[in-house]
Amino acid sequence: MKRILVALSTVALLSMASAQPFVWPSAWTSADASEVVMGGTFRDYAISDPRTFNPFVSAEQNQVVDLADATTLITQGPDSDEFIPYMAESFEVSEDGLTVTINVRQGMKWSDGEDITADDFYLTYLAETDPEVGSNGYDSWFIAGAPIVGELVDDYTLRFVFPTTDRTALPVLAISPAPDHILGEIYRSGGAEALKAAWGTDADISETVWATAFVPVEYLEGQRVVFERNPYFGEWNVDEQGTALPYMDRYVVQTVESTDAALNLYLAGELDAYSPANLDEVGVVNQAINNGDIDATLLPNVAPVASSQFIVFNWNKASDPFLQSTFRNVKFRQAMSHLVDREAIVELVYGGSASPMWSNVYQVNEFWVNDDVPKFPFDPERAAALLAEIGFGETNANGILVDGDGNELSFTLATNAGNSQREQLVQIFADAAREVGVEVNVEAIDFNLLVDQLLSSGDDRPFDAILIGLTGGSRVWPFGVNVIPCGTNLHMWNTSGSCLSAQETLAEELYFKGRQTLDTDEALQIGYDIQSTLATLQAQVYTVSPLSHYSWLSTVGGEHPDGLINDQLGSRQLPLTFKRD
């Protein structure tokens, strides 16, 4: 894997001629220009409805917001780690590496025809740095408590001044615009509360505006979100032949009750692509292809997924001091890690197409993964010994471990309904825990409710433990700015606002030290230390990392070339995707 070096002392990194369209490189697609067919609809799926259409208040993976995030000031292509201007015409970094000046590309329009200007990106900066808005991007704009200061220079120029060197400077500035003429007016007139209330799922979706290739035009709860081609996108996005993008007319995301339901729809030819969750599903798709039931491409075992799966315990449960104290005990969490039978999960849930995960870095980021972190492999005897060390040495008449006051070691572990792999995973854990006297009550709930519980704050949050995952992150520094530092919005085990353990404090210090380190070899060692610290803490008990699999109908074209498909890069660029007749 390539090493990544962000050299922020370079001046005038890249530029493009004024008012010229962005040309999507042919290296990003396996298709030849002669193959391209205009029009058609791509049919996709999601196992939950969007929680909002508001770009500022979404912290979870969201089909609408994810599409909106595809239009950013700067970007990385799938074929290189280099940052290039996208909605920016050019960007320039000062000699000391602390000031970045960005020239916004002229000629871009919102889906309602209004010009996109620097004001729209400045609104994103203002909203994301307003703590009352509570944006998922808030924490990115601070380095060890010191703010990155943004300035609106003129209609098409932005300037950002960093308090210190920052290896994540370019990822931080890969921001999407927000329509200042709509959301900006709401923000200025009604403040943060009005902005947060805008563009909920009860809004008239046809009145929202977007800069993306496709814009949502219809939302039917529990059924689908329909996107149509943005008529203005092609004015500044073209392929190397000069053809306006996107190629397709529509993009439809159907809401399904489970991944099993999505697989059935794909096998019936009612979805255009599907990502098998394990080797059993790979086998089902392969058999359908061999039987001639579907004409499709299948790519199994491509690479580890660009996400994590972990159990997180709630340290903020004032209404139950016993559980709160237990969850805050590192030996308890290490014991729970010893009760995760990762090898069994690999075989039973993923058919062997996965591997145990010990670190908070996605395994697809192979360069950054520390293979020597402290590990707590499946060992019920060791788990029982650790629990005995913290007072759970005896069981009651129900066979459940109790402390000296008779408190039962019993808690509820929730995950999202419809994800059959996660539902199996938590049951395997619960069965193993029960063998040593820990009662784990498994609960599968709606994904949006699960996220609401996870993102809740205060001294008494409404859950015990949750199995969930994280996606996103940077190839430059793959450590969560809103996860590792205490007080950030995805520091999900402890929302007190302060570090409650020495490991938390150390991980936070290491995070900012590494972020300020431009030398990649030095940053790598700091990253290794972060992983070892968090592995000891076990605030997130990591489970397994599945391999990714891809399949799409043969009527779909425009996927990435061989070697450029993985869960971090995706299988395709949507604007370059087309449907054959």
Q: Whole-number mean pLDDT of the chain?
A: 93
Over range 73-79, report the average pLDDT: 94
Q: What is the pLDDT of residue 59?
A: 59
Q: How far apart are the first and last CA of the chain?
A: 38
pLDDT higher than 70, residue 1: no
Residue 254, beta-bridge partner list: 45, 224
pLDDT higher than 90, residue 5: no
Q: What is the pLDDT of residue 62?
A: 62
Residue predicted with more confidence, 395 or 448: 395
- Does the domain formed by 221-303+548-579 have CATH 3.40.190.10? yes
Q: What is the pLDDT of residue 349?
A: 95
Residue predicted with more confidence, 151 or 60: 151
* Residue ranges of domains in the chain: 50-197, 221-303+548-579, 310-546
pLDDT digits (tens, 9 = 90+) for 511-541: 999 999 999 999 999 999 999 999 999 999 9
pLDDT digits (tens, 9 = 90+) for 9-37: 222 333 333 468 999 999 999 999 999 99
> What are the structure tokens assigned to 563, written together?
């070697």
Domain 50-197 CATH (choose: 3.40.50.150, 3.30.420.40, 3.90.76.10, 3.40.50.510)? 3.90.76.10
* DSSP string for 129-156: T-TTT--TTGGGGEETTEEPEEEEEETT
pLDDT category, 58, cuts 50, 70, 90?
confident
pLDDT higher than 90, residue 216: yes
Question: Do the beta carbons of residue 483 and residue 495 sit within 8 Å?
Answer: no
pLDDT category, 47, cuts 50, 70, 90?
confident
**Residues in the chain, overall count:** 581
Closest listed residue to residue 78, CA positions, set 42, 8, 29:
29
Q: What is the pLDDT of residue 17?
A: 37
Share of the chain above pLDDT 90, in %: 87
Name the DSSP class of 186.
Answer: H
Residue environment code for 546-577, b if the CB has 16+ CB neighbours within 10 A, otherwise e: bbbbbbbbeebbbbbeeebbbbbbbbbbbbbb
Q: What is the pLDDT of residue 472?
A: 80
pLDDT digits (tens, 9 = 90+) for 91-130: 999 999 999 999 999 999 999 999 999 999 999 999 999 9
pLDDT higher than 50, residue 6: no
| CATH architecture for residues 310-546 | Roll (3.10)
Q: What is the pLDDT of residue 61?
A: 57
pLDDT higher than 50, residue 8: no
Topology alike, domains 221-303+548-579 and 310-546: no
Q: What is the pLDDT of residue 187?
A: 98
* DSSP string for 397-454: TTS-EE-TT--B-EEEEEEETT-HHHHHHHHHHHHHHHHTT-EEEEEEE-HHHHHHHH
Over range 302-321, report the average pLDDT: 96
Write down the pTM of the prediction.
0.88
pLDDT category, 166, cuts 50, 70, 90?
very high
pLDDT digits (tens, 9 = 90+) for 340-368: 999 999 999 999 999 999 999 999 999 99
> What are the structure tokens assigned to 463, written together?
């859950």
